[in-house]
Amino acid sequence: MGMDVAIATRIRMITEAGDGLSGPDLLGFALDHAVTETGGLGGMAHLRGTGARPLLLAAVHGLIRTVARDWEEVEPDGASAPARAMAQGAPVWAPTPGAGDGTGPALPAGSGLLAVPLITPEEVTGALSVLMVPAERPAPERWAAVEALAAWAAPRLRGDPPDRDQDRGRGRDQGRGRDQDQDRDQDQDRGRDRDQDQGQGQGQDPGQGQDPGRDGGRDRGGTRTLMADDQVSQALWHMSDAFFAVDSDWRVTFVNGEAERLLGTSRTTLGRTLWDAFARLRVDDAEPDLRSRYRRAAESGTPVGFEVRWPTDQRWYSMRLVPVPNGLTVYAADITASRAHEAERAAAERAAAERTARIGELTDALAQALTMRDVVNAIADRVLPPFGASGIVVQLIEGRVIRIAGAVGYPQPFLESIDGASIDDVSPVAEVYHTGAPAFVESVEEYTARYPAMAGRPAAAHKQAWAFLPLIVSGRNIGCSVVAFAEPRRLNAEERALLTALSGLMGQAIERARLYDIEHTRAKELQRGLLPRALPSLSSVTTAARYLPASEGIEVGGDWYDVIPLSGARVALVIGDVMGHGLSEAATMGRLRTAVNTLAELEFPPAELLTRLNDLVSDLGDNLYATCLYAVYDPARATCVFSSAGHPPPAVVRPGHPVRFAGGAPDPPLGAAQPPFETTEVSLEEGSLLVLYTDGLVESAARDIDRGMRHLASALSSATRAPGPGDARRDGDQRDGDQRDGDRGGNASLERLCDEVLAELLPEKQLTADDAALLIARTHALASDHIAAWPLSEGPIAAGEARDHVRDQLTHWELASLTPITELLVSELVANAIRHGKGPIGLRLLRGEGLICEVTDCSLTTPRIRHAAETDEGGRGLQLVSALSQRWGTRYTPTGKCIWTEQPLT
């Protein structure tokens, strides 16, 4: 068990005050203070007599005579608490002993007796007992206080064994004497009050005219109290803490020197009620609850402690109210200094907590920052406001040159003027770089004095104080972070230490962001290098595309798109996604894009093309998968045929119709699919939109693909509801220059549409874990008068019929200048079909960006160029076709094949 500091201090002062006592006085002194410290009702002390005689009552405190008489003798072998404490040599707590139960004489109901042995080095000489109410085990600190007093008194009692008759009489006399003394003191107090009132009424000092013998030798005109001649009173008088006592009528009976500072001198306080002193000092005005606290403590009979600010000196005191049988004692310790120290400690703890919180907030923000811009913004948001700074600039060292990596709160012209400065110049950044220590400049005058060559910089930057912090990473200084202030600013030691600590976090984050920016730039360059540099300009479709890399991580993705011109004014629209991220996936994407272009040149239909592409992916590895959607748009028929391997379906936007997604559930992805692939055909009237996209646009961890597709449909509906300047449908009379102007306008509107869709589905500040690709095509069907087709006879006359049809149609189209070459080309194609194919034979002319001639037959034989010798009469037809046309080729049709040529219109 232990005592708190206040109790231990009081016990020490009490024992020091009683050092000169011995015998009964010593025992009574110890007993009195044991009762006081525990808040007990009373107490008694027993000492062992000579021989085998019973324990004798040697001292009593606060017990009525009838109770004390029953305890004058206690059998040493009995069951009473004092006897057991002596027998066991340890404290004993006995609650509510009753008469006749073998535990000793009767005591008041609901009480308990704490008996502590008086132990000397030779033997147990007696017991010190305290009567307490209620009958609850005393608190550890009270228990310890009684033990301490018993341990102090016991050694001083050696050599004084009590005489039976003397001790018995002393016990009776003490019990009776104390009661008589209490009555006499009350009579004296009442007489003293009466005398004081009379003396004051006669204009005399309250101490004049009093008989020193009747008054006990008190000097009532000084600061001596009622017990000034008593050693205990002297000890209490010289206590460092304030101490005063009041009786049951709340009259002040004792004040020590420190208490006079609170209540006033004893001349004005003794004999008067405590409430008079409170009224005189206006205590109730400052602490209106103080009086009720005193009353509650007296009524409860339990010591009470609290802190209060005393109105007379505005100092803080820790008051302990201890009820005693005839009143209340008050201990008041001045804790102003300790409270101030505690306040300083609390302020320091708050500052440390705030500093820790700032470091934690900055750490969290920097951990989420990826790019240099993110890092600079995080530093500006978390560092500048707490310090009242107005700007920050991050400068990195590249070789021997200082580069601006990011800044907030600085004019752009100033940043441009200092970017690229040499590290060898005399400057604060160079100083910090070379020394590795921070530099703090408190004013413009100090800056100019230290760096005269740069005297104009403060005015240009609109700053007047600076903290130049080194950015050190793994022992390497990579640059300097400058925190600037708009007004002169002197940072204290704590602020400088905090900024220095934060600079370490900033250095790590800035270096990480710098490396991320470098790698991310390289990855984006690689990704974009694998995608089409520009989409072809075609008359059949107007296209626009976007690729958005993932914002999380630096690895490249596998999304790609392509627009491939085909024969017959048709166009292939392709979009795909290699699953995964990394250089391997990017390389695979490049291989697949090349393969699709090659297969498209061979004019394979969508389902067959995906079948061949699936074989290629399967050969690349077991764990490689990709999705792909391949669509072919035919402007002559205004239809689109597509097949999908695990790819989201295309969105179709027809003028005046709601957005819908074409096709059903896609086939499995490439690498896992089992051909054949399903083919879907949709009609696309003039001005329709075909929207191809990858899953990164519509799917994320927070949004499933179905909800994403609904979001895409809503975005397309909103964006197409307000047409742009180039969205107008081309009319049939648009030609050449007018058509190109319309295409440029249509392309501009599609670019706007791409931006709006991306902004809606992937906001700029939203982090994405997957890259996304978007390809939008607006279809342009060939006008009916730009298409001419004829069946041809089976036989040699077919060539002549073809030439006649060509001549008449070109004249109608006002392209007579192309007639000679076109007739020659048609003759060779028809002759080839007659000789190597089989009927029926057909001829079709298409007027688009160029003049297209198509000859069809029912043979699957693919023509190829032969290298005829000089003496051969034939075999030069296809060589002639290749020489006269811009390009030519063959494609399979559902009924056979088609040989085609294309010529420029001019």
Q: Tens digits of per-residue pLDDT, 14-66?
A: 888 888 787 778 888 899 899 988 888 889 999 887 666 788 888 888 787 76
Tokens of 497: 């230490």
Radius of gyration in angstroms for the set of CA atoms belonging to the chain, rounded to a whole number: 54
Judged by average pLDDT, the poorest of 262-266, 736-740, 795-799 is: 736-740
Enumerate the H helices of 699-780 as residue ranges. 705-721, 736-761
pLDDT (0 to 100) of residue 599: 93
Could you write out the DSSP letters of every residue in 314-353? --EEEEEEEEETTEEEEEEEE-HHHHHHHHHHHHHHHHHH
Judged by average pLDDT, the poorest of 103-107, 123-127, 271-275 is: 103-107
Of residues 662 and 135, which shows the higher confidence score? 662
Say if residue 99's pLDDT is above 50: no
Q: What is the Cα–Cα distance from 204 to 267, expressed in whole angstroms?
A: 13
- The angle at the Cα of 35, spanning 33 to 36, to the nearest 5 degrees, equals 60
User: Model-level pTM?
Assistant: 0.52
Through-space distance between the first and last CA atoms of the chain, rounded to whole angstroms: 112
Evaluated on CA atoms 214, 219, 221, 226, the torsion sign reads: negative
Mean pLDDT value across residues 460-483: 92
pLDDT (0 to 100) of residue 108: 77
In this predicted model, what pLDDT tens digit does every residue of 587-638 receive, in sequence order?
888 889 999 999 999 889 999 999 999 999 988 877 889 999 999 999 999 9
Enumerate the H helices of 209-335 as residue ranges. 212-215, 231-237, 257-263, 266-269, 274-281, 283-286, 290-300
Say if residue 552's pLDDT is above 70: no
528's enclosing H/E stretch is helix 493-530
